[in-house]
Structure 1
Amino acid sequence: MDFYLSNIQEVEKQEVPIKGSKGAFIQWLITKDKGASYAVRKFSVLPNGIIPMHIHKYQETVVITKGKCKVCVSDKIYEMQEGDYIFIDGNVKHAFINYNENLEFFCIINYAEDMSIQVLDDECKGNP
């Protein structure tokens, strides 16, 4: 396929399939099925929603486009808001915790041989 054109509103919104996630939804915009060697996903997280601490082998870049959240990466905590972005390498534990408004972000990932996600017992604690 030489190109692919669509609209975000036309892409199915699914619950984030990470155990312990709450109020978090994902849309797969660009995937290997469209001929890409990477994936572009849009996440929408409701107020007080969470994507719990987890780890995976693929790398990701997250770009916040609406709202603000707490991001735990390794053993550090950061506050991110609209316009901020973060690169998270493979095998680095991380979590996203939304505050009291809708959060939206894009997440670009590479395709690793193992795309599984492991949920961790670690909690994202403390203040940024």
Structure 2
Amino acid sequence: MIKKSIDNVEAIKQQAGEGVSMKMLLSPEEASNFAMRQFCIKANGHMPLHTNSVEHEQYVLKGKAKVTVGDEIFEAKAGDILYIPAGVAHMYETVGEEDYEFLCLVPKKEDTINIISC
């Protein structure tokens, strides 16, 4: 059993994109089948077009973003649920003056990230 407070988890600035940080809420070492992360993209920030070798299940906590997944472009907002298949190019650009925050669950597998464009 694990119990934590999100306030005690360090936000790690991500090198890709602008204004992006990540909190590892449950690491692959702590959970049997998945990792749980919280991402924050500051207002006027973005995460570049990239692929991951693992799927992503996401729940938007706060804000809005223009999200590109493959050939689809849509606006995601608080309360939305997204599924991004492994190997599909995706990116995020915040919309408005509020930070965009989401939970991201990924399987406990090697995750190779390939940045396509900054």
Q: TM-score range by the shorter chain?
A: over 0.9
- Residue identity over aligned pairs, in percent, reads 26
Which has the greater radius of gyration? 1
Could you tell me how far 1:76 is from its partner in structure 2? 1.3
Q: How many Å separate the matches in 2 of 1:44 and 1:105?
A: 7
Shift in alpha-carbon separation, 1:62–1:35, aligned structure 2, 3 A? closer
**Normalised by the size of structure 2, how large is the TM-score?**
0.93
- Give the unaligned 5+ runs of structure 2: none
Q: Could you tell me which of 111, 116, 120 is aligned with 2:112?
A: 116
Measured on the aligned residues, the alpha-carbon RMSD in Å equals: 1.3
1:89-100 alignment to 2 at 5 Å?
89-99=85-95, 100=97
Could you tell me how far 1:44 is from its partner in structure 2? 1.1
Q: Which deviates more, 8-17 or 87-96?
A: 8-17
- Give the unaligned 5+ runs of structure 1: 124-128
Amino acid at match of 2:91: A
Is residue 103 of structure 2 the alignment partner of residue 106 of structure 1?
Answer: yes
Q: How many residue pairs end up in the alignment?
A: 117
Shift in alpha-carbon separation, 1:35–1:108, aligned structure 2, 3 A? closer
Structure with a larger share of its residues in strand:
2
Answer yes or no: is the 8 Å Cα contact 1:31–1:37 preserved in 2.
no
1:68-87 alignment to 2 at 5 Å?
68-87=64-83
Q: Which runs of 4+ in 1 moved over 3 A?
A: none
Could you tell me how far 1:15 is from its partner in structure 2? 1.0
